[in-house]
Amino acid sequence: MLRLNNQSWSALSLALKASITFFVLILFYQAYWFYNEWDGSHPVDNTLEHNAIPLLHPHGGNECLPPLNSSLIDEADSILKRCQQFAPYPISGVRIATVTAHFGTPEEHYQRALETHLLHSMIHDTHLEVMCHPVVDSLWNKPAFILSLPLDEMMKPAEERLEWLFWVDRDTLILDQCRPISNFLPPHVSSERQDTERRKETDDETHLLVTND
């Protein structure tokens, strides 16, 4: 048992005051640090994760994607408003995905080209499928990637599956952000045709569009 005399109380009081002073200093330091961290004068990190843009689907990582930030969304909104005002196109209900491959060492000029496709997808609400890492050796990555997408789509309900895949090389860019991909599709054939008409070879629907590059 410890007996506390007057001297003990004096020492205890001094230690208590020192502890309180130290604790108050710690509180002031924490408050100062917190204020500086959240001060509006500091730069704000607007970087977005790729899943913040739900129609963007990178495959094999996301290192090939251009920098994603909130200014990209603002730019897409601004372009959409200008398109609606000066170059309106009819809204199409066709489910389309732009498909491309950007693997290898990331290069700025390719990322900037990909950014134009990303903006176009955001403006027109279409999917963007990007292969960021090769899946096979040599030159077979393009067909392997393209063939894998219909297999993925077959796992979905029919009403959710993509109807068209639009392949673009990585050295392409969008110049006319207002024109939707659906504008290049063949005229829609009426669904009211009879089954007998559907079976006519001369009346087959278009399944592939190719352009010489």
Q: Dump pLDDT digits (tens) for 94-103.
A: 999 999 999 8
129 and 154 assigned to the same domain: yes
Backbone angles phi, psi at 81, to 5 degrees: -65, -40
**Residue of higher predicted confidence among 141 and 50:** 141
What are 160's strand-pairing partners? none
Domain limits at 15? Answer: 7-39
Question: What pLDDT score does 25 carry?
Answer: 57
65 and 156 assigned to the same domain: yes
How far apart are alpha carbons 69 and 47 in whole angstroms? 4
Question: What pLDDT score does 136 carry?
Answer: 82
How far apart are alpha carbons 117 and 119 in whole angstroms? 5
Evaluate if residue 43 carries a pLDDT over 50: no
Mean pLDDT computed over 120-139: 90
Determine, yes or no, domain membership for 32.
yes
Strands of the 164-167 sheet, one edge to the other? 56-59, 127-131, 96-101, 164-167
Determine, yes or no, domain membership for 111.
yes
Question: What pLDDT score does 54 carry?
Answer: 83
Determine, yes or no, domain membership for 210.
no
Evaluate if residue 48 carries a pLDDT over 60: no
Contacts of 146 (CB under 8 A, 6+ apart): 99, 165, 167
What are 57's strand-pairing partners? 129
89 and 111 assigned to the same domain: yes
167 and 97 assigned to the same domain: yes
Start-to-end C-alpha separation, the chain = 94
Evaluate if residue 84 carries a pLDDT over 50: yes
How far apart are alpha carbons 46 and 164 in whole angstroms? 33
22 and 76 assigned to the same domain: no
Cβ–Cβ < 8 Å for 60, 132: yes
Number of domains in the chain: 2
Backbone dihedral region for residue 138 (phi beyond 0: left; psi -120 to 50: alpha; all else: beta): left
Determine, yes or no, domain membership for 77.
yes
Single out the residue of 164, 94, 154 nearest to residue 124, CA to CA.
94
Question: What pLDDT score does 160 carry?
Answer: 93
Most distant pair of Cα atoms in the chain: their distance = 111
Determine, yes or no, domain membership for 83.
yes
pLDDT per residue over 177-199, tens digit each? Answer: 999 999 999 876 444 444 555 55
97 and 196 assigned to the same domain: yes
97 and 23 assigned to the same domain: no
**The one-letter amino acid at 211:** T
27 and 132 assigned to the same domain: no
Determine, yes or no, domain membership for 44.
no
166: helix, strand or coil: strand
Mean of pLDDT over the chain: 78
Cβ–Cβ < 8 Å for 111, 65: yes
The pTM for the full model equals 0.70
How far apart are alpha carbons 211 and 203 in whole angstroms? 22
13 and 80 assigned to the same domain: no
**Residue of higher predicted confidence among 44 and 153:** 153
95 and 158 assigned to the same domain: yes
Q: Please give the structure tokens belonging to residue 102.
A: 């950007």
101 and 29 assigned to the same domain: no
100 and 194 assigned to the same domain: yes
